[in-house]
Amino acid sequence: MTDPIRVIVADDHPVILGGLVSMLESDPGISVVATAADGAALVAATRQHACDVVVTDLRMPGTGGADATRQIRRAAHPPRVLILTTYDSPADVMQAVEAGASGYLLKAAQPREILAAVRAVARGERAMSPAVAQRLSQLQDSEQLTAREVQVLRLMRAGGTNASIGAELGIGAATVKTHVQHIFDKLGVRDRTSAVATGIDLGLLSA
């Protein structure tokens, strides 16, 4: 029998944090060494407590899970990070993976799936639920929008015309039209209304 896996847990919902801790503690091979209610507290906790795995929510007040992951992974011997969240919008998943997360699970997962994932990432493996992987592929199919295009898409959601969007961004209406066309191509739609709808669906606009 080896030493237990040392885990730090972060979630801004006290109820969920409590449920997670007691669930993890019920496994004799896992030991929760600290908890946090937001990203900043999580980063601080990883500096004060040696641990193998961090289990964290993504959407938290102040510093989010993605930023926290980035900071944690910069350490000398960083722990693995397992994202455990409610949402599976492709943009969220992408952000987490780019930040250096080793796994991405949904809170709908069964306890034994979560425990298995914690052990897997502790071993250095990756853990991603099939549903999440599928959502991620959606985003990869529709190649990513550039920062400028996301800006335009945001203003489209607000109901701006090409001219008013141009005024807002300090560029010409013709340029906005070009961006809009590129957005259509990348999202596979033919009009601004469904562009905004799919943008929201992919999580490009909610964050």
Q: Tell me which residues touch a second copy (CB under 8 A).
A: 12-20, 22-23, 86, 107-111, 114, 156-159, 189-194, 196-197, 200
DSSP state of 143: P
Task: Copy the structure tokens of residue 56.
Answer: 């964290």
Min separation Cβ 59 and a second copy, Å: 10
Closer Cβ to a second copy, 25 or 73, answer by number: 25
Contact (CB, 8 A) for 32 and 25: yes
Helix (H) or strand (E) holding 8: strand 5-10
Residues 111-170 contacting DNA, CB under 7 A? 146-149, 160-163, 166, 169
Q: Which does 125 bind (CB under 5 to 8 A by kind): DNA, a second copy, none?
A: none
* 187 belongs to the binding site for DNA (CB under 7 A): no
Task: Quote the CA–CA distance of 75 and 54 in Å, as a whole number.
Answer: 13
* 18 belongs to the binding site for DNA (CB under 7 A): no
CA distances from 177 to 22, 155, 163, 194, 207 (A): 54, 13, 9, 16, 24
Q: Which residues bind DNA (CB under 7 A)?
A: 146-149, 160-163, 166, 169, 171-175, 177-181, 184, 190-193
